[in-house]
């Protein structure tokens, strides 16, 4: 079930990032007194009264008019149009819009223009009902400033909500109404398809790979990075197995993402990973593995999804007998937190080894569903302890009494111990490696949960 999206918009320096951090429960956005600090959008998960939703922070929007005066955003003077564009794109996907203004500044030309942008998008939006707009009067930190909220009625966007993002005052009443206004969520129909997401940074050949797999041009192929802007589902059957291939826009690190349409495509790409069973992480063989490739791998691991690393454009590499072996070592070094990942070298352009992509992805999906019995798990765990006991801490050592696999998809193990706090992450990694020696769980992350034994 897709979570609702709440988008924060408004001119610079009204406290959007501060409110974003409060809703996210952590300091994810940069907060600065210089207007325009937030130049790109951030996405975080939030929850209110048991309702999960995503919150999106946007850059400040400057007025296009102003009688020749300097732009209001000092820190974002070179990004004004891009910031306006990215806010407009985010609004198109919102289920609720929080329009922030500053109680202490009163109604400004910038506020009026943001209100006009919202009205224009309201007229243009298609396929979805227009989301409710909540006029949030921030910096209402005391009774005097809360009383100034009335002046924002002139914006014609309904009753204002006076809040203090810094102190949290008024945010509860606001969120009560926001959550109540979400569209009724319909349960998504579950299917037995294996969902495979094709992900990677822009211009590594994701759409070309999809087209080569399908044998026909169902996705746009272009040498221009970022052509694919939406996650597109394609249904097919492979040797009697129903599949859903999810082609996604390229993911770039935040500092390299062009604001606007491409930036929102990043959010869709991350959601595509969340919807997938297996992710095909495409690497450009010519460029080699980059920091951004490892960053995307981190997204996949965080979502606990299975993965195949697909090194594309292999036809463009000058090779000798040891090239593939050396390249494999290099990828494994860079993705050392994913030592279990299989690596496949292909050329979407020539079709080299593309016929191995789906079989390998399905093999990884099978590994994801493997379940070890309790006897197997305990045999491995006890042998691991005998070979290498946990390091003592403060005179006490970790003791594992027994373990069991409680679920698959992904494989999840619960180990009953004397005190979970005594376990160092390196020892958990050691136990994972011992489990993989017994059964490899190729391409699939393992989750190990430590549970204290009940005292009698």
CATH of the domain at 328: 3.40.50.300
Q: Are residues 286 and 431 in the same domain?
A: no
Residue 443 is predicted with a pLDDT of: 96
Residue 270 is predicted with a pLDDT of: 72
Phi, psi of 34 (to 5 degrees): -80, 120
Of 309, 320, 322, 316, nearest in space to 350 by CA:
316
Cβ-contact 437, 429 below 8 angstroms: no
Domain range spanning residue 381?
Answer: 374-452
Q: Are residues 211 and 164 in the same domain?
A: no
- How many other C-beta atoms lie within 10 A of the C-beta of residue 233? 14
Cβ-contact 313, 327 below 8 angstroms: no
Residues sharing a CB contact under 8 Å with residue 422, sequence separation 6 or more, in sequence order: 390, 393, 396, 397, 398
What is the DSSP code string of 123-175?
HH--SSPPPPEEEEEE---SHHHHGGGGGGGGG-SSSEEE--TTT-TTHHHHH
CA distances from 400 to 191, 392, 419 (A): 38, 13, 9
Residue 158 CA to residue 177 CA, distance in Å, equals: 13
- How many other C-beta atoms lie within 10 A of the C-beta of residue 82? 17
State how beta strands 51-57 and 5-9 pair.
parallel
> Is residue 392 one of the residues assigned to a domain?
yes
Q: Are residues 46 and 163 in the same domain?
A: yes
Distance of CA 321 to the CA centre of its chain: 39
In tens digits, the chain (456 residues) has pLDDT values of 567 888 888 887 888 888 988 888 754 444 444 444 333 446 677 889 889 888 887 765 555 544 444 445 444 445 456 555 655 655 666 788 899 999 998 988 878 877 887 777 665 544 556 778 899 999 998 888 888 899 999 998 889 999 999 999 999 999 999 999 988 765 556 678 999 999 988 888 888 999 899 886 555 565 555 555 455 688 888 988 999 998 875 555 545 544 444 444 555 677 778 889 999 999 999 999 988 788 888 888 888 999 999 999 999 998 887 789 999 999 989 998 898 999 999 999 999 999 999 999 999 999 999 999 999 999 999 999 999 988 766 678 889 999 999 999 999 999 999 989 888 889 999 999 999 999 999 999 999 999 998 755
Q: Are residues 117 and 145 in the same domain?
A: yes
Q: Are residues 354 and 383 in the same domain?
A: no
Q: How many helices (H) and strands (E) does the chain have?
A: 12, 15
Q: Are residues 174 and 245 in the same domain?
A: no
> Is residue 186 one of the residues assigned to a domain?
no
Q: In which element (H, E) is residue 308 found?
A: strand 306-312
10 Å CB burial of residue 285 (0-12, 13-18, 19+) is buried
Residue 436 is predicted with a pLDDT of: 95
Q: Are residues 357 and 428 in the same domain?
A: no
Q: Sign of the CA dihedral 345, 333, 425, 453?
A: positive
> Is residue 188 one of the residues assigned to a domain?
no
pTM score, whole prediction: 0.68
The b/e string for 27-59 (b: 16+ C-beta within 10 A; e otherwise) is: eebeeeeebbbbbbbbbbebebeeeebbbbbbb
Of 265, 234, 260, 233, nearest in space to 250 by CA:
265
Cβ-contact 155, 112 below 8 angstroms: yes
Residue 190 is predicted with a pLDDT of: 65
User: 3-state secondary structure string, 106-129?
Assistant: CCCHHHHHHHHHHHHHHHHCCCCC
Q: Are residues 41 and 162 in the same domain?
A: yes
The domain total for the chain is: 3
Q: Are residues 363 and 276 in the same domain?
A: yes
Q: Are residues 276 and 393 in the same domain?
A: no
Q: Are residues 200 and 153 in the same domain?
A: no
């Amino acid at each position: 079930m897709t979570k609702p999206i709440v988008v924060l918009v408004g001119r610079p320096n009204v406290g959007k990032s501060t409110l974003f951090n409060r809703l996210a429960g952590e300091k994810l956005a940069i907060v600065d007194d210089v207007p325009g600090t937030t130049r790109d959008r951030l996405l975080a998960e939030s929850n209110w009264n048991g309702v999960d939703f995503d919150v999106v922070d946007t850059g400040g929007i400057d007025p296009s008019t102003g009688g020749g005066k300097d732009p209001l955003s000092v820190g974002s003077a070179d990004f004004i149009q891009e910031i306006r564009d990215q806010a407009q794109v985010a609004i198109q996907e919102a289920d609720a819009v929080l329009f922030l203004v500053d109680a202490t500044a009163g109604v400004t030309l910038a506020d009026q223009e943001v209100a006009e942008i919202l009205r224009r998008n309201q007229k243009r939006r298609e396929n979805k009902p227009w989301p409710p707009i909540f006029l949030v009067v921030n910096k209402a930190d005391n009774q005097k400033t809360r009383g100034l909220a009335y002046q924002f009625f002139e914006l014609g966007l309904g009753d204002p909500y006076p809040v203090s993002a810094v102190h949290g005052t008024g945010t509860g009443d606001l969120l009560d109404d926001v959550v109540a206004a979400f569209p009724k969520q319909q349960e998504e129909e579950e299917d037995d398809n294996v969902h495979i997401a094709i992900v990677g940074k822009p211009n590594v050949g994701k759409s070309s790979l999809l087209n080569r797999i399908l044998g026909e041009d169902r996705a746009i192929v272009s040498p221009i990075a970022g052509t694919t802007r939406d996650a597109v589902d394609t249904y097919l059957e492979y040797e009697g197995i129903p599949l859903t291939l999810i082609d996604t826009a390229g993911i770039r690190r935040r500092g390299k993402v062009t604001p606007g349409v491409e930036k929102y495509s990043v959010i869709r790409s991350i959601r595509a990973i969340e919807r997938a069973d297996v992710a095909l992480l495409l690497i450009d063989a010519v460029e080699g593995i980059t920091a951004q490739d490892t960053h995307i791998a981190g997204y996949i691991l965080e979502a606990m999804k299975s993965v195949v690393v697909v090194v594309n454009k292999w036809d463009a590499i000058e090779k000798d007998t040891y090239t593939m072996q050396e390249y494999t070592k290099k990828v494994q070094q860079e993705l050392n937190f994913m030592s279990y990942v299989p690596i496949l070298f292909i050329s979407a352009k020539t079709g080299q080894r593309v016929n191995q992509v789906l079989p390998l992805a399905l093999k990884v999906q099978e590994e994801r569903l493997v379940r070890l019995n309790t006897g197997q798990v305990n045999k491995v765990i006890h042998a691991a302890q005998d070979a290498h006991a946990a390091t003592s801490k403060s005179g006490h050592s970790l003791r594992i009494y027994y373990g069991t696999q409680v679920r698959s998809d992904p494989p999840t193990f619960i180990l009953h111990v004397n005190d979970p706090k005594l376990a160092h992450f390196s020892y958990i990694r050691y136990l994972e490696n011992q489990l993989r020696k017994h059964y490899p769980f190729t391409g699939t992350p393992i989750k190990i949960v430590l549970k204290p034994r009940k005292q009698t």
